Amino acid sequence: MTTPTMFLLIVNVLLLVVGIIMEVNAAKVMLLPVLFPISQDLGVDPIHFGGVVTVNLCIGLVTPPIGIVLAIASQIGGISIAEGTRGTLPYVLVALAVLVALTFIPVLSTGLPDLLLGKPLP
């Protein structure tokens, strides 16, 4: 039996790989019709799931070797992708730490909406 946390970890790995080779909107259009109903069946909050998906795909944009934003920024700056990777590596590591925190602590993404809607925080 899959728990919501195990499902989110599997989605994290899948979306990090997909985010490296695909643009964010195209990946969302292709994958969310399949992944979202599964997340709902497992009881994952829709806002939490949306935050995890968005952060995952955005990290993929700057992750080498194919990260589209990394490649474009390196070309604009007139540097190699290797140099761009060295410059972005600390930020990617921090983004991965944020992703792990977001995955395991749902209130980080659902706290403010719950507060605005008057729902009690867990």
pLDDT (0 to 100) of residue 1 = 59
pLDDT (0 to 100) of residue 68 = 85
pTM above 0.75, yes or no: yes
Q: Which two tokens stand for residue 27?
A: 């990946």
CA distance 117 to 59: 29
Local confidence pLDDT in tens for the 122 residues of the chain: 579 999 999 999 999 999 888 888 999 999 999 999 999 999 999 999 999 999 999 998 888 777 888 888 889 999 998 898 898 899 999 999 999 999 999 999 888 888 888 887 66
Instruction: Assess whether the previous peptide bond of 65 is cis (omega < 30° from 0).
Output: yes
pLDDT (0 to 100) of residue 47 = 92
